[in-house]
Chain A
Amino acid sequence: MITFEDIVKPENLVYEKTSLMTDKALSYCPGCGHGTAHRIIMEVIEELGLEENTIGVAPVGCSVLAYEFMNIDMTQAAHGRAPAVATGIKRTWPDKIVFTYQGDGDLAAIGTAETIHACNRGEKFVIIFVNNGIYGMTGGQMAPTTLPGMKSSTSPYGRDIETMGNPLKITELVAQLPGTYFVTRQAVHTPAAVRKAKKAIKKAFENQRDDKHGLSFVEIVSNCNSGWKMTPTDSNKWMEENMFPYYPMGDIKVDGKLVK
């Protein structure tokens, strides 16, 4: 008879949780993409052997507590200020690996100036930008990236672009700046997307490790099933049908050159 012990052996191991994620239960809603995004970033840092040299910067928003889940040294920044905080760290510790993890409200609304100027100065760190088109933490208000007509608690009749403005494609915007070296848009809602996103994140951290000239910026278009008031499955389908046409997947700038 085959016993449990016969199966659970190191040689049979096909997947193991990275040691760079803590054992603390994630505070994210079931179905949310943040947990996957956290995991692949931590896997990349572990695979590249950078954990002893990495300092992360957490934002304000749903991922404000990212430092509770990411098992590395981290600094929690004021709302929108993560790129400035990261600049302070990287400029004084140029040999460290520094990254920010920010949501759309943090990066593309209140922190627009910090985002654009860090990109424009060509700061040599990584920005991971999780765009779910809504303010999740505060309860589903309109974000700078909320789609036209999309309902939120502060656009209850849908985003009216006449009075509320257009969704901001900040990723395309920062790609135009000479200071960015690598700009890409990814997703984490399917196994294939996760593999691609992880590859992009790896490239971003390798750029920094190899002291490439400029900032690496990875957008992850993600779902917010709670904020969008959908089941996780429906939210992923809605994301593909509505978010992806507005925020198309793929690399925008590679090795300092626009490819799109």
Chain B
Amino acid sequence: MGELKLMKGNEALAEAAIRAGADAYFGYPITPQSEVIEYLMSEKPYERTGMVVLQAESEVAAINMIYGAAGAGKRVITSSSSPGISLKQEGISYISGAELPCVYANVVRGGPGLGTIQPSQADYFQSVKGGGHGDYKQIVLAPASVQEMSDFVKLGFELAFKYRIAVLILSDGVIGQMMEKVELFDQMPRLTDEEIYEKFPWATTGKKKGTERRIITSLDLDSHKMEEHNHHLQRKYKTIMENEVRSEAIHCDDAEYIFVAYGSSARIAQKAVDMARAKGIKAGLIRLITLFPFPEKQLQAFCKQGVKGFLAVEMSAGQMVEDVRLSVAGCAKVQHYGRFGGIIHSPEEVLRAMEQQIIGG
């Protein structure tokens, strides 16, 4: 068993970055995730593993530092919260176009604009539909516990380098700020310079004599080549959709009504399932772990199983619910419930919404 600690979600993410063998964190403070850079600065990872921690002048600069270092084969991570994530979108688009691996976290707060500093899940569209310009996707992992804030850093780096893609850990103010027991994974070594030369033939590490030079770019003025590059990206996303869907089904085997949720909403919905079961309602929960790729097939299977209705529970005006509707394609009733703008729904509200909008509606 790994080391057990009581930590905030943001601290667990920061500690996991060190333990995952990250080469650098570049970031800019913003509530409710400033503990990430504060923890890293106080922890001195440059003494523990040689990891670089740098406070950038802006989120824009931070994501471009990520772009530069990732292009040079380094294992790099950043984090921010909603308004800061909006600023990073240019860099995310470039990272996606140039196919660079990186991990970044969004500890979501209520918006739009400066919004609030309280928790929200209103950045779903930005996360899974492409917050920057162009046809691109990123893998989106949704932690629902402090444990997963740690575990998903490790998983995120594995996926990022497997597919040369940006991996977003889509958290929220609840998961980032709350303290829970977390089992930390053991320290992983950082890659040596030689390992980087060997493993990443695409990385800019200095042109060795007699070898082709390496270019990191998202530009091609030849539109036919750019179309082919886009086809390549889409094939990659399809492979990810076929192989990397992750979700957790809770009390779904005999369920007639299913809550669909992720992150802190999934924890609230799980409580609502227990309350429903106590009242004799056959309710279940599918907790989404990957938001892209989206568990379409899992939802479709529930339809075949005879599920009568789905309630999408999310702290937004209704974003993920659109993907639930697309997935089940009219086979069952789909409704949305959620508080937003920084307000967190209660299990009672969520159960009432299921009873009124799905069962009785």
**Chain A residues at the B interface, C-beta cutoff of 8 Å:** 51-55, 57-58, 64-65, 67, 71-78, 81, 84-89, 91-93, 96, 113-114, 117
Contact of B64 among A71, A72, A73, A84 (CB under 8 A): A84
Contacting A at CB under 8 A, from B19-41, are 23-24, 26
18 additional A-B pairs beyond A72-B213, A84-B65, beta carbons within 8 Å, are: A52-B206, A65-B221, A67-B217, A71-B207, A76-B98, A76-B217, A77-B67, A78-B91, A78-B94, A85-B67, A85-B68, A85-B71, A88-B26, A88-B64, A88-B65, A91-B69, A93-B74, A113-B61
- B91 touching A92, Cβ below 8 Å: no
Report whether A85 and B65 are in contact in the complex, using a CB–CB cutoff of 8 Å.
yes
In the bound complex, residues from chain B placing their C-beta under 8 Å from that of A65 are 219, 221
Tell me the nearest residue of chain A to B56, going by C-beta: A84
User: Complex Cα distance A78/B64, Å?
Assistant: 8
Question: A75 to chain B: which residues have CB within 8 Å?
Answer: 67-68, 71-72, 204, 215-217
Could you say which residues of chain B place their CB within 8 Å of the CB of A54? 206-207
**Distance to closest chain B CB from A249 (angstroms):** 30
Q: Are the C-beta atoms of B204 and A73 separated by less than 8 Å?
A: yes
B68 contacts which of A53, A84, A113 (Cβ < 8 Å)? A84
Residue of A nearest to B67 (CB): A85
Chain B interface residue bracket vs A: 35 or more
A-chain residues with CB within 8 Å of residue B52 when the two chains form the complex? 91-92
Give bound CA distance, A102 to B304, whole Å.
Answer: 59
Q: Which chain B residues border A51 with CB–CB below 8 Å?
A: 206-207
- B240 interfacial contact with A, CB 8 Å: no
**B65–A91 touching, CB < 8 Å:** yes
A-B contact pairs, 8 of them (CB 8 A): A73-B204, A78-B90, A81-B67, A87-B56, A88-B26, A88-B69, A96-B72, A117-B56
- Structural contact, B215 and A74, CB atoms closer than 8 A: yes
Find chain B residues with CB under 8 A from A93 CB: 72, 74, 205
Residue of B nearest to A68 (CB): B215
**Contact A55–B72 (Cβ < 8 Å):** yes
Nearest chain-A residue to B208 (Cβ)? A52
Chain B residues near A91 (CB-CB < 8 A):
24, 52, 54, 65, 69
Chain A hits for B68, CB < 8 A: 57, 75, 77, 84-89
Shortest Cβ gap from A31 to chain B (Å) = 22
Known A-B contacts A77-B68, A86-B68, A113-B58; the reply to A55 vs B91 at CB < 8 A is no
Q: B358 at the A/B interface (Cβ < 8 Å)? A: no
Closest to B205 in A: A73
B24: chain A residues within 8 A (beta carbon): 88, 91-92
Q: At the interface, is chain B mostly helix, strand, loop or mixed?
A: mixed
The minimal Cβ–Cβ distance linking A115 to chain B, given in whole angstroms, is: 10
The residues of B that contact A71 with a CB separation of less than 8 Å are 207, 213
Q: How far is the CB of B56 from chain A (nearest CB, A)?
A: 7
Q: Does chain A have a CB within 8 A of B279?
A: no
Q: Which residues of chain A are near B66, meaning CB under 8 Å?
A: 88
Query: What residues of chain B lie closer than 8 Å to A57, measured between beta carbons?
Result: 68
A114 to B61, Cβ gap below 8 A? yes
Specify the chain B residue showing the minimal Cβ separation from A67.
Answer: B215
| Minimum C-beta distance from B73 to chain A (A) | 9
Q: Are A92 and B64 interface neighbours, CB within 8 A?
A: no
Tell me which residues across on chain A come within 8 A of B213, comparing CB atoms: 71-74
- Inter-chain contact A81/B69, CB cutoff 8 Å: no
B345 CB → nearest A CB, Å: 39
Please give, as numbers and ranges, the residues of chain A lying within 8 Å of B207 by CB-CB distance: 51-52, 54, 71-73
Residues on A with C-beta less than 8 A from B57 are 113-114, 117
Query: Which B residues from 133 to 192 make CB contacts under 8 A with A?
Result: none
- A93 CB to closest chain B CB (Å) equals 6
- Cα-based distance from A81 to B94 in the complex (angstroms): 11
- The winner among B71, B76, B221 for most chain A CB atoms within 10 A is B71
**Contact indicator B208/A85 (Cβ below 8 Å):** no
Would you call B61 and A92 a contact (CB within 8 A)? Answer: no
Asked whether B209 is an interface residue with its Cβ less than 8 Å from the other chain, the reply is: yes
Specify which of A57, A67, A72, A87 lies most central, judged by the most chain B CB atoms within 10 Å of its CB: A87
B199 within 8 A of A: no
Cross-chain contact A89 with B69 (CB below 8 angstroms): yes
| Given A84-B68, A89-B71; A55-B204 close (CB under 8 Å) | yes
Decide if B69 touches A55 in the complex (CB within 8 Å).
Answer: no
Across the interface, name the chain A residue whose C-beta is closest to B216.
A75
Contacts of A76 in B (CB 8 A): 98, 215-219
Judged by a CB distance under 8 angstroms, whether B5 is at the interface is: no
| CB neighbours of B54 from chain A (8 A) | 87, 91
- Bound state CA distance, A117 and B26, in angstroms? 14
Q: How far is the CA of A88 from the CA of B91 in the complex (A)?
A: 13
> In whole angstroms, how far apart are the Cα atoms of A64 and B221 in the complex?
11
**Chain B, residue nearest A27 (CB):** B221
- Give Cα distance in the complex from A16 to B349, angstroms: 78
Q: What distance in Å separates the Cβ of B104 from its nearest Cβ neighbour in chain A?
A: 13
Q: Which residues of A contact B359 (CB under 8 A)?
A: none
Give Cα A103–Cα B61 distance, bound, in whole angstroms.
18
Residues on the A chain within 8 Å of B219, using CB: 64-65, 76
| Residue B233, interface by CB 8 Å | no
Residues of B contacting A52 in the complex (Cβ-Cβ under 8 angstroms): 206-209
User: How far apart sit A93 and B197, CA to CA, in the bound complex (Å)?
Assistant: 12
Does B60 have its Cβ within 8 Å of any Cβ on chain A? yes
Q: A91-B54, A96-B205 are contacts. A73–B67 as well, Cβ < 8 Å?
A: no
B214 within 8 A of A: yes
